[in-house]
Structure 1
């Protein structure tokens, strides 16, 4: 069940002493958390950044003092200045220091990370394999794969955010299964979304990039202008400005300017308001390790229509009594997406069942404390100098 998350010192007062039920003070060990420079940028929100910020807040509750280092750069393919800064940051750490690196920073620069892996207790947190994130060109993808493989084989542990991602990394990179661990994202407690009329308010929360596939959603909606609906696409457009421009042109060409809105990024109360007005969450990605926007919607009782890629089916999950709280369609199948949308709009009983399943699923979602607990366990078992 989702519960409000207690962070920081509030959980540090005491822990049970082994065997006698008494309590003893918890002493904190240090972990050096190495993050991309834009992790706190409100203009570029992402699931990975949210995850990184939350574990920085919650790890102290499980015995780890977090020392953050944010390294500016165009990760995962940084310039010389960024690589030098990362090398200096790692080089300053004492032998045996515990280090958790965001995979966006670590996986593209084996020439920096691998030489340090022998003396540090190092784990890499992979939010999304680099080839899925930035490797649309096959040659680029192959190069990123090679670099990522070198890093993940050298470090002491790899942390992934879904069971699918654990299996993918083990199989794709030939990693030791004993060194690949799961720490799934949590979901914050949130009030039920009132929605609009129960059907017509669509919401897509995702960065505006080809991987998120908003153009597929626009094309599907263009075939059903006879129906009453509006769609908000919430997400930053700065990662791929040319795609964002093409998407806006596509919206205009279909005559949907008054019905599909690209709002830009939203955080805090503005994002909460977007969810509150939604009747259906739509995610049309071609690759997702997990899909945190899915569980953010389900935490508010909002059903989901999503592509069945990567860890998305895990995020959607099932209600405790079995029903799936949404609709899953194959990626890159415009007919299936269109049919699912028409089914949602045209079948009141389907909408009722999906809303009931989403509200039931909401009560079973895990919180961020479980994520921090899983990471703390991995950090506590890190050996030094593990090399495949």
Structure 2
């Protein structure tokens, strides 16, 4: 099968969506598909008339297209035109658009089908736009070396520094726990929202935590693996999250995770009990949970053993790709 995979050119940091797209393309290829990944420049999610025309040109050819929702959800007319010309257009919706719901609704309705990375993301689209033909293809997790942990306990928060990811909330919480030993690293791009990143750095300095909290920037390869190697706990406090691939990445390293209730990260954590999903509408919930974990070796060992057990049952990216390939081959099923 020939697949043209259209991805946005205006997301330049290591987002979960970008990582998902790259892994999906890699493993579709491994399953025998002929995948052409095309970066679509433009001011997405809507773009200019010229941007949308460029997108429309890439839909031409009567082939099968997977288009990232950040590009496709603002261009319903272009999708309709392509489908009428014989092109299958699947929208890979990592997360519903914050703005432009009318355009998104029309684009999803026009598409051949919709690929979602989680049941949480699919349910959100259904709530907003009604029943659609959706296929859930949860992210896989790569095999990873087992974390060794640290003394004192080392906490990692792996996400771009963005308001939605709530690193400020974590810094303010850790500032109240200075009587307990720990170290922490905030690992993620500072370029996605430079103002927020500066606020996070300023908070670390304000609380005098420069020697305990490292703001590392985006790390890849051996440098991120070195952080996972010494990690004891991973924290993902996103206010909205379609899945949260860092959760399964954590579990792949045998590292338990704290996530926020009401997000797709709860789905990623599943029923592993390798950490907890916190109701952060309750005052002090994060502080209480972190202090309990930091001061209770029995809880540390329980979460760690549950993470090791979960590590053995993580889905691979080959399963993700097989789910997508099956859907593309049977567009009228379901």
Q: State TM-score, norm by structure 1.
A: 0.82
Aligned to 2:101, the other structure's residue is in SS state helix
Distance 1:257 1:190 in 2: 29
Alpha-carbon shift at residue 261 of structure 1 (Å): 1.6
Distance 1:349 1:294 in 2: 22
Runs of at least 5 residues in structure 1 that lack an aligned partner in the other structure: 1-28, 132-140, 384-388
Of the candidates 78, 81, 84, which is equivalent to residue 47 of structure 2? 78
Distance 1:296 1:274 in 2: 12
Alignment of 1:242-257 (within 5 A): 242-257=195-210
Counterparts in 2 of 1:110 and 1:381: CA distance versus 1, 3 Å: same
Of the candidates 166, 180, 185, which is equivalent to residue 213 of structure 1? 166
Alpha-carbon shift at residue 117 of structure 1 (Å): 3.1
Distance 2:302 2:185 in 1: 23
Counterparts in 2 of 1:271 and 1:264: CA distance versus 1, 3 Å: same
Distance 1:88 1:328 in 2: 44
Alpha-carbon shift at residue 225 of structure 1 (Å): 1.0
Corresponding residue for residue 72 of structure 2: 106
Distance 2:50 2:194 in 1: 24
Distance 2:288 2:129 in 1: 37
Of 347-356 and 251-260, deviating more is: 251-260
Of the candidates 130, 134, 141, which is equivalent to residue 97 of structure 2? 130
Alpha-carbon shift at residue 46 of structure 1 (Å): 1.3
The Cα offsets for residues 172-225 of structure 1, whole Å up to 9 and x where unpaired, read as 21133xx1110000000111100112x620000001101111111011111111
Distance 1:146 1:242 in 2: 30
Alignment of 1:225-236 (within 5 A): 225-236=178-189
- 2:177 is the alignment partner of 1:224: yes
Corresponding residue for residue 162 of structure 1: 118
Counterparts in 2 of 1:290 and 1:219: CA distance versus 1, 3 Å: same
Alpha-carbon shift at residue 80 of structure 1 (Å): 4.2
Aligned to 1:358, the other structure's residue is in SS state helix
Please tell me whether the aligned partners of residues 96 and 124 of structure 2 are also in contact (alpha carbons under 8 angstroms).
Answer: no
Aligned to 1:211, the other structure's residue is in SS state helix
Please tell me whether the aligned partners of residues 116 and 137 of structure 2 are also in contact (alpha carbons under 8 angstroms).
Answer: yes
Calculate the aligned-residue CA RMSD, in Å: 1.7
Distance 1:146 1:227 in 2: 50
Alpha-carbon shift at residue 302 of structure 1 (Å): 0.3
Counterparts in 2 of 1:237 and 1:79: CA distance versus 1, 3 Å: farther
Distance 2:77 2:199 in 1: 37
Of the candidates 319, 323, 326, which is equivalent to residue 374 of structure 1? 323
Please tell me whether the aligned partners of residues 10 and 44 of structure 2 are also in contact (alpha carbons under 8 angstroms).
Answer: no
- 2:30 is the alignment partner of 1:61: yes
Please tell me whether the aligned partners of residues 318 and 357 of structure 1 are also in contact (alpha carbons under 8 angstroms).
Answer: no
Corresponding residue for residue 303 of structure 2: 354
Q: State TM-score, norm by structure 2.
A: 0.94
The Cα offsets for residues 342-363 of structure 1, whole Å up to 9 and x where unpaired, read as 1111111011100000000000
Corresponding residue for residue 282 of structure 1: 235
Considering Cα pairs closer than 8 Å and 6+ residues apart, tell me whether 1 or 2 has the greater RCO. Answer: 1
Corresponding residue for residue 145 of structure 1: 101
Corresponding residue for residue 13 of structure 1: none
Aligned to 2:164, the other structure's residue is in SS state coil
> Which contiguous aligned blocks of 4+ residues in structure 1 show a shift greater than 4 angstroms?
none
Alignment of 1:275-354 (within 5 A): 275-319=228-272, 324-354=273-303
Runs of at least 5 residues in structure 2 that lack an aligned partner in the other structure: none
Corresponding residue for residue 7 of structure 1: none
Of the candidates 183, 205, 220, which is equivalent to residue 137 of structure 2? 183
Counterparts in 2 of 1:248 and 1:114: CA distance versus 1, 3 Å: farther
Please tell me whether the aligned partners of residues 202 and 229 of structure 1 are also in contact (alpha carbons under 8 angstroms).
Answer: yes
The Cα offsets for residues 150-188 of structure 1, whole Å up to 9 and x where unpaired, read as 111110100101111122212221133xx1110000000
Distance 2:76 2:84 in 1: 13
Alpha-carbon shift at residue 318 of structure 1 (Å): 2.8
